[in-house]
Amino acid sequence: MSTTASPISEKPEATLYTAQVCRGLACLLVAIYHGAALIGNWYGVKPLLALTNFGFSGVHMFFVISGLIIAHAHLDDVGNYRRVPAYFLKRLVRIYPLYWIVLIAVGVWQVLAKRLEIGEFLSNALFFISSKPLIIAVSWSLAYEMVFYGIFVAFIVNRKLGLGAFTAWFGLVALNYVYHFADTIGLQLPNLLFMLGLLTSAAGMALRNKLNQERRDRIGIASLVAGTVIFLSTAWWYVSLGDAKVDVWDSLPLALGFGTGSALLLLGSVSAKLEGFWKRQRFLLLIGDASYSIYLVHFYFQKHAFKGVRSLNWGLAGEKTQTTALVLLTVIMLVSVGCGILIHKLVEKPVLAKCRQWLKIGRPARQQGRAGSPQGSANAVLP
């Protein structure tokens, strides 16, 4: 006679630890990608050769995570149109306060020095766009996040309306990929990644409702393995292309490969064993919790860290080797990630807590729990 518990309708914990670890992995992929390119340009030898070339895939993973976590965090809001104002406030508070602080810190001097017009600064500040290089180079991805948040509000108003809106959105994105009739952000291929995240959330909820924990553990672990294989196989395929010109943001194989791999990795959260394992990995959770801060500031600190190394002429004289390039990458990664974590702790968390307190939305950041165990981080959606 089987002693396996029968399946029951079950909601996951407030924090999806698998997603939190994946957020950390995604921001590290992007940071390594930029750091390796920086060293390759200035030092002349790219660390790890072409193995860092797929680091842009961290953005693919971020978008899938956003789709999953938005659905997870706002599950109880679906079909309740009265929750629309609170939904928008939560999303705007999560994006803008820290972004504005970083933007002012690194960009206002350009306005004062008349190197940037005030209109361009405001375009950066409000819409993440500019006719010139963005002040924060990675902020272009936040424009995609805002489009997704805007369309997801259809679910908050009415579940059927949400299904119709996302079906129409998927169709328009697919048609635009084939016929290229519009350049607008909302119809570009990366938007499919948010939809993959929503499907992953729906699949996870269905598995929690229909299967017992033993089966969910098996599926979760198998999903984690399959996701890793698909993600790394896609990375290997892209690296093997060498110098072939590929538009990584308009490549269906890359979107499907990195997107499906990310989705399967995230589906691992249905396994209580995996969630329990990741819950004990405090450093990985810290990176995940600080991922938005790291994402916004890493390139700024990488550039300045490398300038410091260049001014000391450390490791730059003599023969240029992979070993030295790898050491340089390690140094600027430690500086940029470390500074990102400090900004998260000293700026992002207290500012987010104050904003939530003033606006009376969500759970105050100070209630997140012990360091390294970020309770309530389901609302910490962004890269």
Cα distance between residue 122 and residue 138, in whole Å: 16
Q: Strand, helix or coil at 370? A: coil
**Residue 378: is its pLDDT beyond 80?**
no
| DSSP secondary structure letter of residue 373 | -
Sketch the domain layout of the chain as residue ranges.
17-379
pLDDT tens digit sequence for 98-146:
999 999 999 998 888 878 899 999 999 999 998 889 999 999 999 999 9
Q: Which of 22, 9, 58 is nearest to 380 (CA)?
A: 22
Q: Which of 219, 222, 230, 224 is nearest to 261 (CA)?
A: 230
Structure-token pair, residue 320: 């240029």
Q: What is the pTM of this model?
A: 0.90
Determine which of 3-12, 14-23, 298-307, 374-383 has the lowest per-residue pLDDT on average: 374-383
pLDDT tens digit sequence for 69-110:
999 999 999 999 999 999 999 999 999 999 999 999 999 988
Give me the pLDDT at residue 113, please.
84
**Residue 3: is its pLDDT beyond 70?**
no
As a whole number of Å, the CA-based R_g of the chain is 21
**Residue 21: is its pLDDT beyond 60?**
yes
**Residue 379: is its pLDDT beyond 60?**
no
Cα distance between residue 61 and residue 141, in whole Å: 12
**Residue 374: is its pLDDT beyond 60?**
no
pLDDT tens digit sequence for 283-295:
999 999 999 999 9
